[in-house]
Structure 1
Amino acid sequence: MQRPPTFAAFACATAVILLTACAGDDKDTEPPAPPPGVTAQVGSATSVHVMWEQAADNKAVTGYDVFQKGVKVKTLPAAKRMVDIDRLAPSTAYSFTVRARDAAGNLSAPSAAVPVTTPAPTPEDTKAPTPPTALRGQVDGSRAVTLSWARAADDLGVTSYDIYQEDSRIHSVRGSEATARVTGLRPGTVYTFTVRARDAAENSSSDSDAVDLTTASAPGDDVPSTAPTDLKATVRKGSVDLSWTPPETGEPVKVHELFLNGKPATTIVWGVQPPAGTVTYTLTVTDKPGTRYSIKIRAKLPDGKWGDFSAQRTVVIGSQSQ
């Protein structure tokens, strides 16, 4: 004979229903805060560079939307907090705001509106500015650096300076400035920075000399750097001479990997006993004069893993290295 449900069975079923209802109430309905620190700087007669700081959220920001007078013009992932707005009209006033999004689709209120006016066009300007000089840098803890340089010259005027890290533009400041603070870096990491000047006709200078900066280790992190140091690159006829100091690992470093323009190019292997101290390698090149190479090195550690990358060096075939 089938027995009727007991009180305990009814209680359990009720508990399940209540738990299910509670779980449904856990939906994220709180929007992020508006992004702070929004700036808009002229890049040229037809472009503006918009930047902002990270917005706060009760869980996590997943992206940002950039608006021009209420019309969305760009959508970006959470890790990116700067963007160039192109194809603008010269001699025109614009106003930009930024809104943050979270995983639940909640959208923040707009940031404070930032006005900017593009300069007049310079259609006959084909002359690039001179490169900035005397680039210097200071490490600001484990996640930021401050760069400074001597201003470039241009026949009609520099409108902005673009900061590059290993050939990727990561920051821009207006042409009247000669310093920039770069944030969002990783602790205990070597970075190679260069700066280019840009005018209103979008002519960019060549790179400044490079500066290498290593951010401080995170608090409590006593792990030594595994990056090769003192990388030097000298252009010769048909080759590039490289030299560097392998990292201190407690054992000889027998293998290094050489990267050209961000991609692995060759593995350098020494025998049972690699050279002590500074090591050298000659890279044969067959490309025509004017070809540009970005070079960096990493070592294979005794545990078989690859270590951190060295600072990057940029050379141009047929000219001296940077």
Structure 2
Amino acid sequence: MQDTALRRIFPLAALASVAALGLTACGSDEAPPAAPAGVTVQAGTATSVHVMWRPAPERSGITGYEVYRGGTKVKDVPANQSMVDITGLTPSTPYTFTVRAKDGDGTYSPYSAEKSATTPAAVAEDKKAPARPAGLTGKSAGPRGAQLNWTRSAKDEGITSYDIYQGGSKIHSVAGGATSARITWLRPGTHYSFTLAARDAADNTSPVSRAVEITTPKGPGDDPDTAPTAFRAASHAADGAYYVDLSWVAPKTGAEVTTYEIYLDGKFATTLIWGGETPKGRATYSVYVGKRAGDAYRVKLRAKLPDGTWGRFSEERPVVTREAP
């Protein structure tokens, strides 16, 4: 029992980050990022709006986005996402949104074009969910995309939006009048399962549709391997406690990777979410493992990818807690 207690995992506090403020300093030769393009805004329910924009190109240096309602910032969004739900709004009210990007130097882009939406009226005591969406079909749209289509409901059920899921992760949302959607940020040579759910103004959600299975083709030069690379593990002692020290290089997904799962001895130990900008090059993190020297562990980790799936595990490394020299 004592050994089990010593081997419990207590994740470290989220890593702190310092947010750069304002515009580029005078005299800087660095051009600011381009303003986010393709911004769309649509009411999801009577109290929420869905904001989307076109993902930045690969190797653009973008590390995150800020979403503004009027002149007020309402959301920080990591670089591997290009959509967000804004909640807590008032029914039957017009809202205007803009988005801006920032890069690793803390330089901000111009604001995007303003886009507006009006939340629908609240429906009192509406607890009836829309019917399950029918007729979902899909096909690949190149190595990194998919096209989905479905049948419009024969009944007027007050549908305000459709949410698209890949596995258990919501990855896209479109207006209630839509019958198709284009999905991006997928990986070449990868099998996907998509489902669809309808929402109404009272935020009632339908059962999910049947799943549609799609496999993206592998294009020339595309490598779907998603495991972190150059993975290393060591240990150190500090203040009577022992830590496993990890370092790795993030997989190349076309966007920043902000979330990882860490496993010890084949079992899930903790989730790491970078609280600010993700590390450039080699990332490092330490996990508390107890107060006894000489305990042996096997450690590995995997990344959450922009398409909502978990990537392949890194190589598994052995490590033994050791006394400080």
Give the 3-state SS of the residue equivalent to 1:208 in structure 2: coil
Mapped pair 1:93 → 2:90:
no
Alpha-carbon shift at residue 55 of structure 1 (Å) = 3.5
Number of residue-to-residue matches in the alignment:
209
Q: Which runs of structure 2 are paired with 1:308-319 in the superposition (5 Å)? A: none
Which amino acid in structure 2 is aligned with residue 186 of structure 1? R
Higher RCO (CA-CA < 8 Å; seq separation 6+): 2
Alpha-carbon shift at residue 51 of structure 1 (Å) = 0.3
1:199 corresponding residue in structure 2: 200
- Deviations along 1:253-300, whole A, 9 cap, x unmatched? xxxxxxxxxx999xxxxxxxxxxxxxxxxxxxxxxxxxxxxxx9x99x
| Counterpart-to-counterpart distance in 2, 1:67 and 1:135 | 34
- Aligned Cα root-mean-square deviation (Å): 3.1
Alpha-carbon shift at residue 69 of structure 1 (Å) = 0.6
- Deviations along 1:25-80, whole A, 9 cap, x unmatched? 99663210000000001100000000001236985000000001111000011101
| Counterpart-to-counterpart distance in 2, 1:212 and 1:144 | 13
| Counterpart-to-counterpart distance in 1, 2:54 and 2:223 | 30
| Counterpart-to-counterpart distance in 2, 1:123 and 1:144 | 39
2:189 corresponding residue in structure 1: 188
- Deviations along 1:109-139, whole A, 9 cap, x unmatched? 1000001000100121100000111110011
Mapped pair 1:165 → 2:192:
no
2:243 corresponding residue in structure 1: none
* 8 Å CA contact 1:34, 1:55 repeated in 2: no
Q: CA distance change for structure 1 residues 34 and 87 in 2, over 3 Å: closer, same or farther?
A: same
- Larger helix proportion, structure 1 or 2? 1
2:276 corresponding residue in structure 1: none
Mapped pair 1:219 → 2:220:
yes
- Deviations along 1:221-246, whole A, 9 cap, x unmatched? 599xxxxxxxxxxxxxxxxxxxxxxx
Q: Which runs of structure 2 are paired with 1:97-176 in the superposition (5 Å)? A: 97-152=98-153, 156-176=157-177
Structure having the higher Rg: 1
Alpha-carbon shift at residue 151 of structure 1 (Å) = 2.1
Which amino acid in structure 1 is aligned with residue 30 of structure 2? T
Alpha-carbon shift at residue 156 of structure 1 (Å) = 4.2
1:32 corresponding residue in structure 2: 33
- Deviations along 1:137-181, whole A, 9 cap, x unmatched? 011110000000112366641100100000111000000111000
Alpha-carbon shift at residue 205 of structure 1 (Å) = 0.3
Structure 2: gaps (5+ residues): 1-25, 225-265, 269-308, 317-325
| Counterpart-to-counterpart distance in 2, 1:84 and 1:129 | 20
* 8 Å CA contact 2:188, 2:223 repeated in 1: no
TM-score by length of 2: 0.59
Q: CA distance change for structure 1 residues 63 and 221 in 2, over 3 Å: closer, same or farther?
A: closer
Which amino acid in structure 1 is aligned with residue 175 of structure 2? R
Structure 1: gaps (5+ residues): 1-24, 224-262, 266-295, 306-322
| Counterpart-to-counterpart distance in 1, 2:122 and 2:77 | 29
| Counterpart-to-counterpart distance in 1, 2:193 and 2:38 | 26
* 8 Å CA contact 2:48, 2:86 repeated in 1: yes
* 8 Å CA contact 1:193, 1:211 repeated in 2: yes
Which amino acid in structure 1 is aligned with residue 110 of structure 2? A
* 8 Å CA contact 1:29, 1:104 repeated in 2: no
Alpha-carbon shift at residue 100 of structure 1 (Å) = 0.4
| Counterpart-to-counterpart distance in 1, 2:154 and 2:122 | 19
Q: Which runs of structure 2 are paired with 1:26-105 in the superposition (5 Å)? A: 29-55=30-56, 60-105=61-106
| Counterpart-to-counterpart distance in 2, 1:214 and 1:57 | 22
| Counterpart-to-counterpart distance in 2, 1:219 and 1:77 | 29
Which amino acid in structure 2 is aligned with residue 140 of structure 1? A
Which amino acid in structure 2 is aligned with residue 139 of structure 1? S
Which amino acid in structure 1 is aligned with residue 74 of structure 2? V
Q: CA distance change for structure 1 residues 59 and 220 in 2, over 3 Å: closer, same or farther?
A: closer
| Counterpart-to-counterpart distance in 2, 1:59 and 1:150 | 37
Alpha-carbon shift at residue 218 of structure 1 (Å) = 2.3
